[in-house]
Homo-oligomer: A and B are copies of this chain.
Amino acid sequence: MSLSKKLVVPPGGKTRIADFDPADPLAGVAGAPTTKDEAEAALSANVEVIADLQYRLYAENTRALLIVLQAMDAAGKDGVIRHCFSGVNPQGCKVTAFKQPSATELDHGYLWRIHHAVPPKGEIGIFNRSHYEDVIVVRVHELVPEKVWKARYDQINAFERLLADNGVVIRKFFLNVSNAEQKKRLLDRLADPKKNWKMSAADFAERRRWPEYMAAYEDAVARCSTDHAPWHVIPADRKWIRNWAVSQIVRETLESMDPKLPKIRLDPATIDTSG
């Protein structure tokens, strides 16, 4: 079975997050690594291929690739970005981390700041959080009435359709970490001076809303997985499986896009090179 087929959320389906195992070793998936060492070697190889294909995408300059990352805290959004995209030329690969919207952003519709950050032709754009927060954290914390967030699934599908129709290939990843593994990581992080500076009491408090978050994620991925912008549920309890799986789907996506170097615009023979 192909990796993408195993992890993709079928369009129009009634997907349950609980049907995806956060600790899935991906056994039986063609090419899946079986050890951490194998996974790291495969990840490095993928990064090299991605870097090469990104050069072609940049040269071709007709399409873009948008990667959307969503997850509970400590599931590894930052880690996926660092491991899968360090090694890719930052000229042509931009990360946008969506934080709490500013006052100005709140004065606009929720897709305003998102549209602004969509990658231009030739580039890879990575969203660390995204418009999906507007149907996840906004729903869990009841920041807008239910009828407002419920209307957003269709709006998001239409928006992503617009992007796809204009040359933006979209792949969305939910990094699926288990409740127990998240707790372990947060406690480890709290004890690590290299990492605990970014923690606050809210990180643990949010855990009390775990079921509400899972319900929100479930609806988001089920209602907004489409052929042109599929969601993938990535097993995230093992970091090496998680990183390899994302890099593999990104690689396969770029390979299927098969960007081509353009032909020279002029006949070289007509160029006066005497200067």
Contact = CB atoms under 8 A, between A and B. Distances in A.
A92 B94 CA distance: 9
A264 B126 contact: no
Contact count band on A? 35 or more
A262 B190 CA distance: 13
Contacts of A78: 91
Contacts of A186: 273
Interface in A83-110: 85-95, 97
A93 B186 CA distance: 26
Contact of A199 (B94, B190, B264, B272): B264
Contact of A275 (B92, B205, B263, B264): B205
A272 B204 contact: yes
A164 interface: no
A213 to B, nearest CB: 12
A266 B207 CA distance: 18
Which are the 4 A-B pairs with shortest beta-carbon distances? A207-B275, A91-B95, A197-B262, A196-B264
